[in-house]
Amino acid sequence: MKKALFLLIGVLSINVLVAQDAKKTKAPKPKKTDSQITVAPKRLTVAHPSDHFLIQIGSDSWTNKPDSIRTDGGRFFNFYLMLDKPFKTNPKFSTAYGLGLGTSNIYFDKQYVNVGSSSGSLQFLGHPSNGDHFEKFKVTEIFLELPVELRYTLDPENSGKSWKFAVGAKVGTLLKAYSKGKNLVRADGSSVNDASYIVKEYDTKYFNSTRLTFTGRVGYGNFSINAGYSVTNVIKGGFGPSMNNFTLGLTVSGL
């Protein structure tokens, strides 16, 4: 997966650089004699918004979850490479599309999520009667995502010092899902094994393989606040409760 990620980043980076170089490179023109020289009227050129890459990080949560699911916060991390296409009629507006990775990490309070269960549903189990539980436990999902945005930049000639707004959506396909428990402890807090004891379980069968998320951003320069809400359920229908992802965080953009 690391090789695929590096390949993805390399290909999209080359596309962005080639597109930028093509705009800057002009074919040489033959020299004109004095009699051929004419004065052309000045044309206004406007630089388009320069958010070709997006790095996003922040809080992640499952909405509409029942009381039987005891989450303890969550985090997400996203990375996208995007191409930006300004409107010819109004360069303050542009559309952008790209490709990247989106991750979701949901943490649980003394609860074990049996992602590999053969019972026919995703099980959220409390600690057994002897009180043993993992000190830290989370469920992680990793998606390959295609984001699309409609952008507005207040001052496109100085996009690095301008207010920016964007609304859009992204569709993702699930690459990997797993649970991770660290440091199995007893009710009194003492370790059953040792503090470095880790258990991972990989299985995607109970998680929705497609995620559709509506997004929004507002910010200044290279920093913005982002929010996202998935309209598709986290868990496949019939395999667990109907829940959605809600994210709120910080975007760092550039190039």
Question: 234, exposed or middle or buried, with CB in 10 Å at 0-12, 13-18, 19+?
Answer: buried
Question: 138, exposed or middle or buried, with CB in 10 Å at 0-12, 13-18, 19+?
Answer: buried
| pLDDT tens readout for residues 222-236 | 999 999 999 999 999
Q: In a 3-state reduction of DSSP, which class is residue 15? A: helix
Task: Write the single-letter amino acid at 129.
Answer: S
Instruction: Kindly state whether residue 180 falls inside one of the protein's structural domains.
Output: yes
Instruction: Kindly state whether residue 29 falls inside one of the protein's structural domains.
Output: no
Could you tell me which residues come within 8 angstroms of residue 102 by beta carbon, excluding any fewer than 6 positions away? 76, 77, 78, 142, 143, 145, 170, 172, 211
> CA torsion sign, 89 to 91 to 92 to 95?
positive
Total domains in the fold of the chain: 1
Instruction: Kindly state whether residue 32 falls inside one of the protein's structural domains.
Output: no
- Residue 61, pLDDT score: 98
Instruction: Kindly state whether residue 17 falls inside one of the protein's structural domains.
Output: no
**Alpha carbons 148 and 213: distance in angstroms, whole number:** 11
Instruction: Kindly state whether residue 38 falls inside one of the protein's structural domains.
Output: no
Residue 229, domain CATH = 2.40.160
Considering the entire predicted model, what is its pTM? 0.80
Instruction: Kindly state whether residue 8 falls inside one of the protein's structural domains.
Output: no
Instruction: Please give the structure tokens belonging to residue 119.
Output: 């019972």
Positions of E strands within 65-132 = 71-86, 93-108, 111-114, 123-126
In terms of Cα–Cα distance, which of 147, 146, 154 is closest to 49? 154
- Residue 255, pLDDT score: 76
- Residue 41, pLDDT score: 52
Positions of E strands within the chain = 53-63, 71-86, 93-108, 111-114, 123-126, 133-153, 163-185, 198-202, 210-220, 223-230, 244-254
- Residue 86, pLDDT score: 93
**Alpha carbons 124 and 70: distance in angstroms, whole number:** 9
The tens place of each residue's pLDDT in the chain, 255 residues long, gives: 544 444 445 545 545 444 455 444 455 555 655 555 555 555 445 555 578 999 999 999 999 999 999 999 999 999 999 999 999 999 999 999 999 999 999 999 989 999 998 889 999 988 554 578 898 999 999 999 999 999 999 998 888 899 999 999 999 999 999 999 999 888 777 888 888 899 999 999 999 999 999 999 999 999 999 999 999 999 999 999 999 999 999 999 987
**Alpha carbons 9 and 98: distance in angstroms, whole number:** 11
Question: 92, exposed or middle or buried, with CB in 10 Å at 0-12, 13-18, 19+?
Answer: middle
Contact status, residue 178 vs residue 151, Cβ threshold 8 Å: no
Instruction: Kindly state whether residue 84 falls inside one of the protein's structural domains.
Output: yes
Instruction: Kindly state whether residue 219 falls inside one of the protein's structural domains.
Output: yes
H runs (alpha helix) in 39-80: none
Q: Which residues pair with 230 in a beta bridge?
A: 213
Domain limits for position 244: 47-254
